[in-house]
Structure 1
Amino acid sequence: MSEHAKSGSLQIYLRLLSYVKPYSGFFALSLMGYVMFALSQPAFARLLEYFVEALEGSFATIDRDLGSFLPASIMTSVALIPIVMLSIAIFRGIGSFLGNYFLAKVSLSVVHDLRCLMFNRMIQLPNNYFDNNNSGHLIARITYNVGMVTSAATDAVKVIVREGLTVVFLFGYLILTNWKLTLVFIGVAPIIALVVSTASKRFRKLSSKIQTSMGDLTHVSSESINGYRVVRGFGGESYETSRFFNASDRNTRQGLKMVKASAVHTPTLQFLVNTALAILFFLVLWLKGDATTASLVSFVTAAALLPKPIRQLSEVNANIQKGIAAAESIFEMADQPSEPDNGTFEKETVEGKLEFRNLFFKYQNTDKPALKNINFTVNPGETIALVGRSGSGKTTLANLVPRFYPHGQGEILLDDTPIDDYSLKNLRSHIALVDQNVTLFNDTVARNIAYGDLRDKDDSDIHLAAEAAHANEFIKNMAQGMNTLVGEDGVLLSGGQRQRLAIARAILKDAPILILDEATSALDTESERHIQAALDEVMKNRTTLVIAHRLSTIENADRIIVMDKGEIAESGTHSELLAREGHYAKLHQMQFQEEQEEAIEVIPLASSQPLQH
């Protein structure tokens, strides 16, 4: 691994550990517990020395270690060594509980903080970020990647602290007992370090690939679930199954590579440690010297206790690298700049005058501008309709008013103040939006109407908004009325019903500026007639931008702006634009012909039914 990669990994891990700081008290308790646990290991090795000496009829070592703490009558008792053994076991058990419980408390709190950090960051990210990143990968970061961080923050730290301290204390005991023989283990240490370093790079690389493949898996699943009607309606089952199989297969292969790397790494380290242990046993038998049998048994026992913690330390490296790779993706998202909000100007109410001056806009990663040289003014209470072919820039223009995207060259002014000067929250509080793609939440009808800042509205206001949107006629037939759950994204409702709830939400907001983006697109003719009457009422005394596909719905607008290829082609009233015989007149004629053809097609269909006598 390069020095840059090492420093990068260290920085990420230190940043991850910085989230432990608020829980340092709990961490100190867990550390104390693991110190107790680790001390019990050499204590057991020392206990064997006491036992072997006792078999030989000597109590010299135990008297030297514990004679000043225990009464003389107990020192020669047969029960002494069993009592010491039970005491060590209780001491170890208390340490294990303190270490495991308080470290789990710290790590789960850190994971909770990271999840909240990511979710808070996600809802503050600009629209461009969501345009360029699919939802599956974003969800995988909050679920799967955070799970990987858990293993780094919990299991890895637990093993590093507990087993690391065990190794340190056992080595310390070995050095104090026989430092010459201990040098055999120290000689193997550089080789172990080289193996660990080589494996780390491999683990990190594989972990990143596993996370990417898990994101692909989540993305395919999410798309198939959300679009299940299209999947079934167009026979896409086999295609989606194939996509899922391929994504799952990639994830499985990457996971197996990780297991294979770990499976080679651990035995290699074990072999090195056992080689050192074998040499040690040889030297003990060959160079016994003047050491007692009891001290050599104790030394060999302590040495034999070393391979297990060393093996666990070698295995934890894979978890650490997974955690670092996961933390890297989490921090990449956390470091994304929030939606720009440098405005400080706030107004309790606005008149609703909108002005577009020399406005240009283009989406990220595209060269062609979506809007060019847009100039027009909407006076307070005026209704302006935006019409044009698909892709002409109508919705893009509407999205710039609430600053869903930062516009480039030019200005948009609200009450003669540039919208960039307003704080985002204040600006959006003056705008109600009904989108062509209605978003509903898996909650009650009432909570979907009174959503967000509207959640404290009175029930009477919610009912009035529903009535004004002609939604009461279907709400009253629901099992629990306003308290009926609508399902995920309103799946239990028809398109027209969903649209009416979105309109009710906009009515309840009672904002001075109303943006209707194909607000009646999901309605049948009869529902549209009702809704259009409701919208005509709602639009009174409000500045309204209406994006409409059906030109018949905007004939009464104060002004109609026709857009073409991101530019304003013409503007005027319905009658003025028809008289000009330009873009609008052509659009109107095309729609009129389409409606006529549809009407003619219905007549033979109706006449083909057998007559009843």
Structure 2
Amino acid sequence: METKQTKGSLKEFVSLLKQLDWPKGVTVTALVLALFSTVASLAVPLVTKQLVDSLTTDLFNWKTAVFLFAVFIIQAVLGGVSYYMLAYIGETIVADLRTRLWSKVLRLPVPYYDETETGETMSRITQDTTILKQLVSDHLVSLITGIISIIGAIAILLFLDWKMTLIMLISIPVSMAVIFPLGRVMHKIAKATQAEMAKFSGLLGRILGDIRLVKAYRAEDTEQEKGSVAIRSLFGFGLREAKIQAVISPVMTLIMMGILVAILGYGGAQVSKGALSAGTLVAIIFLMFQIIVPFAQMAQVFTVFQKAVGATERIQQILGMNSERTEGISGASDEALTFKDVCFAYDDEKPVLNNITFNAVPGTVTAFVGPSGGGKTTLFSLIERFYHPTSGTIALGGCSIEEIALSDWRGRIGYVSQESPLLSGTIIDNIAYGLSERPSLERIRHAAESANALSFIEEMEDGFETLVGERGMKLSGGQRQRIAIARALLHNPSILLLDEATSNLDSGSEAHVQVALQRLMEGRTTLIIAHRLSTVIDADQLIFLEKGTITGIGTHEELLKTHQMYEEFAAGQGLA
């Protein structure tokens, strides 16, 4: 089973490498330069052999010295240029991979984010891609040139003395017998380490993103313990990896040194007999090191390769996910928004909405009221196409919203929630957020004025260039709401979704926001979620939702007469 899994991982790794945008010309040039550098290094032992065997001063003349000096200079120059090229290749492909991942992540459906912590996704884009870059930049070409160096050195050794070469080749099957079993273990550890690192990143993202909640409820000690558990787990995986490395590296060194001692002993005996020249023995020792060094490096390459294969699996998982369906028709007319027998469940056992049917006519206000947990927010998520109905149809006029191009559909919707979080940046950035081109300052000022936001913005020292802080925390709740309303006004949507937009505000802020909302609602199809009936008492229709089912539709007066629970709601708020 493990062997099949490893083969599948290797196949995914090769498949991913093929998909990436390799700079082919640079790659070929780097390989050629590395090959020339390797060939130059193989020439040094042969020249050394001639020098030692001659032992005459007239052979070691200035020509030989210049030749050796030129070889060393060529090696240094080619090594430096190829190193830069390899770094360029690594940075290029990791940039391409991160671009693909970022593009994919932005277009994954909302259920993916429900099930996956933000930090875990961040780990895939940053850490997993970095491991792949390390393999390509630091090890891949050196592995290829190392293999060429080993093959070239063995070929020369066979020419110089085939018996000693055969003694040396005994080390290869012995080394493989050590490396391959440990490699499978390393692959499992690498996968587990990266999975644990992704979880740890998820924990960091969640805690640091809600640090005010942590501090408000004095949960520092609890969260510190959770982080410590994750850190100890990573520490354990790191030690397991180190144990394998502690076996691989010394064993490889031991095998190579054993072979070196055997060759020195055997070669020395051959030299004393006169069967082998001293120069040949020196050349053999030089060539041995040109085999030992790349062979020792392969142990490290093997470790990084196993990590890269593990990282590839998770990267391919994300790239292989289905993105949101974006194609469809554009320019559908603004007619009534219709729900017909819509059902929805997050999983098969827990239905959230049951047979929801209603019409929202353009220019009218539809308000959803009822107990918490009735499915009101889920209904809004269906309108925004974050989720898709289990059954039934949501249509605009006679056209299912699923047939409308996603960008066109969401461009018709303006959404203002009870939180209305802002993004880090300036006020002007947040008002113009989502627009392909930055509108003129005059348009932005007009939207801010219509949202009752211009006065407080101009009172700030930096005006529209004021930084709002993470999630807009430097602004009050009412100010954040009015910035969100200004953004919606600027986008000029035909359908407006208000999710308890004034529920968290004080009376002063609520008055400002209510005026701004009235301006925003003019001429639009407006749907409102409200717990306070006083804010929606004049709606064209109120829909009462209980446990995912509509139990009443009508105006305030109609529901007071026909719906007992609505009457109790109204009475509880002094409106009956």
Q: State the TM bucket, normalised to the shorter chain.
A: over 0.9
Read off the aligned partner of 2:365 and give its amino acid letter: T
Read off the aligned partner of 1:345 and give its amino acid letter: I
Q: Does 1:362 align with 2:349?
A: no
Residue of structure 2 equivalent to 1:324? 309
Residue of structure 2 equivalent to 1:301? 286
Report 1:21-100 matches (<5 A).
22-56=22-56, 76=59, 78-100=61-83
Q: Counterparts of 1:34 and 1:195 in 2: how far apart (Å)?
A: 29
Indicate if the aligned counterparts of 1:51 and 1:81 stay in contact, CA closer than 8 A.
no
- Kindly state the Cα deviation for residue 54 of structure 1 after the two structures are TM-superposed: 3.6
- Kindly state the Cα deviation for residue 366 of structure 1 after the two structures are TM-superposed: 4.7
Q: Secondary structure of 1:438's match?
A: coil
Gaps in structure 1 of 5+ consecutive residues? 60-75, 594-613
- From 255, 258, 268, the equivalent of 2:251 is 268
Q: In the superposition, relative to structure 1, how do residues 249 and 107 fare at CA in structure 2: closer, same or farther (>3 Å)?
A: same
Indicate if the aligned counterparts of 1:454 and 1:509 stay in contact, CA closer than 8 A.
no
Q: Counterparts of 1:20 and 1:31 in 2: how far apart (Å)?
A: 18
- From 478, 482, 489, the equivalent of 2:471 is 489
- From 143, 161, 166, the equivalent of 1:178 is 161
Residue of structure 1 equivalent to 2:18? 18
Q: Counterparts of 1:47 and 1:17 in 2: how far apart (Å)?
A: 40
Residue of structure 2 equivalent to 1:279? 262
Residue of structure 2 equivalent to 1:8? 8
Residue of structure 1 equivalent to 2:113? 130
Q: Counterparts of 2:27 and 2:442 in 1: how far apart (Å)?
A: 52
Indicate if the aligned counterparts of 1:438 and 1:502 stay in contact, CA closer than 8 A.
yes
Read off the aligned partner of 1:533 and give its amino acid letter: V
Q: Does 1:442 align with 2:424?
A: yes
- From 295, 300, 303, the equivalent of 1:315 is 300
Q: Does 1:213 align with 2:196?
A: yes
Q: Secondary structure of 2:170's match?
A: helix
Q: In the superposition, relative to structure 1, how do residues 371 and 93 fare at CA in structure 2: closer, same or farther (>3 Å)?
A: same
- Kindly state the Cα deviation for residue 434 of structure 1 after the two structures are TM-superposed: 1.2
- From 457, 477, 482, the equivalent of 1:475 is 457
- Kindly state the Cα deviation for residue 90 of structure 1 after the two structures are TM-superposed: 1.0
Residue of structure 2 equivalent to 1:576? 558
Q: Does 1:588 align with 2:573?
A: no
Indicate if the aligned counterparts of 2:339 and 2:359 stay in contact, CA closer than 8 A.
yes
Q: Counterparts of 2:337 and 2:53 in 1: how far apart (Å)?
A: 95
Deviations 1:439-471 (A, max 9, x none): 311111111011112643222121111111111
Q: Does 1:501 align with 2:483?
A: yes
Read off the aligned partner of 1:311 and give its amino acid letter: A
Indicate if the aligned counterparts of 1:447 and 1:455 stay in contact, CA closer than 8 A.
no
Q: Counterparts of 1:211 and 1:300 in 2: how far apart (Å)?
A: 41
Residue of structure 2 equivalent to 1:388? 370
- From 494, 498, 521, the equivalent of 2:503 is 521
Deviations 1:29-59 (A, max 9, x none): 11112112212332221222122134246x8
Read off the aligned partner of 1:291 and give its amino acid letter: L
Indicate if the aligned counterparts of 2:22 and 2:89 stay in contact, CA closer than 8 A.
no
- Kindly state the Cα deviation for residue 278 of structure 1 after the two structures are TM-superposed: 2.3
Indicate if the aligned counterparts of 1:433 and 1:514 stay in contact, CA closer than 8 A.
yes
Q: Secondary structure of 1:476's match?
A: helix
Q: Counterparts of 1:443 and 1:304 in 2: how far apart (Å)?
A: 57
TM-score scaled to structure 2, two decimals? 0.95
* Identity across the alignment (%): 31
Q: Counterparts of 1:210 and 1:394 in 2: how far apart (Å)?
A: 41
The two structures, once aligned, show a CA RMSD in angstroms of: 1.9
- Kindly state the Cα deviation for residue 23 of structure 1 after the two structures are TM-superposed: 0.9
Q: Counterparts of 1:325 and 1:259 in 2: how far apart (Å)?
A: 17
Read off the aligned partner of 1:390 and give its amino acid letter: S
Q: In the superposition, relative to structure 1, how do residues 424 and 205 fare at CA in structure 2: closer, same or farther (>3 Å)?
A: same
Q: Counterparts of 1:5 and 1:375 in 2: how far apart (Å)?
A: 49
Residue range with higher mean Cα deviation, 152-161 or 376-385: 152-161
Q: Counterparts of 2:404 and 2:26 in 1: how far apart (Å)?
A: 44
Q: Counterparts of 1:499 and 1:270 in 2: how far apart (Å)?
A: 67
Indicate if the aligned counterparts of 1:152 and 1:320 stay in contact, CA closer than 8 A.
yes
Q: Counterparts of 1:398 and 1:20 in 2: how far apart (Å)?
A: 39
Runs of 4 or more off by more than 6 Å in structure 1?
none
- From 329, 336, 355, the equivalent of 1:345 is 329
Report 1:243-262 matches (<5 A).
243-262=226-245
Q: Counterparts of 2:227 and 2:32 in 1: how far apart (Å)?
A: 47
Q: In the superposition, relative to structure 1, how do residues 385 and 21 fare at CA in structure 2: closer, same or farther (>3 Å)?
A: closer
Residue range with higher mean Cα deviation, 575-584 or 16-25: 16-25
Read off the aligned partner of 1:483 and give its amino acid letter: E
Q: Counterparts of 2:49 and 2:568 in 1: how far apart (Å)?
A: 102
- Kindly state the Cα deviation for residue 96 of structure 1 after the two structures are TM-superposed: 0.6
Residue of structure 1 equivalent to 2:390? 408
Q: In the superposition, relative to structure 1, how do residues 188 and 30 fare at CA in structure 2: closer, same or farther (>3 Å)?
A: same
- Kindly state the Cα deviation for residue 276 of structure 1 after the two structures are TM-superposed: 2.2
Deviations 1:203-254 (A, max 9, x none): 2111112112212222222222221211111111111111111111211221
Residue of structure 1 equivalent to 2:143? 160
Q: Counterparts of 1:404 and 1:493 in 2: how far apart (Å)?
A: 28
- Kindly state the Cα deviation for residue 523 of structure 1 after the two structures are TM-superposed: 1.8
Deviations 1:552-584 (A, max 9, x none): 100110000010000001111112212335121
Q: Counterparts of 1:454 and 1:460 in 2: how far apart (Å)?
A: 17
Indicate if the aligned counterparts of 1:384 and 1:546 stay in contact, CA closer than 8 A.
yes
Q: Counterparts of 1:230 and 1:239 in 2: how far apart (Å)?
A: 13
Q: Secondary structure of 2:23's match?
A: helix
Indicate if the aligned counterparts of 2:416 and 2:485 stay in contact, CA closer than 8 A.
yes
Deviations 1:310-353 (A, max 9, x none): 11111211111111111211111111110123x52111x63241
Q: Counterparts of 1:155 and 1:591 in 2: how far apart (Å)?
A: 69
Indicate if the aligned counterparts of 2:21 and 2:93 stay in contact, CA closer than 8 A.
no
Indicate if the aligned counterparts of 1:231 and 1:237 stay in contact, CA closer than 8 A.
yes
Q: Does 1:227 align with 2:210?
A: yes
Deviations 1:102-160 (A, max 9, x none): 11111110110111111100000001111111111111111111221121222221331
Indicate if the aligned counterparts of 1:29 and 1:98 stay in contact, CA closer than 8 A.
no
Q: Counterparts of 2:523 and 2:14 in 1: how far apart (Å)?
A: 58
Gaps in structure 2 of 5+ consecutive residues? none
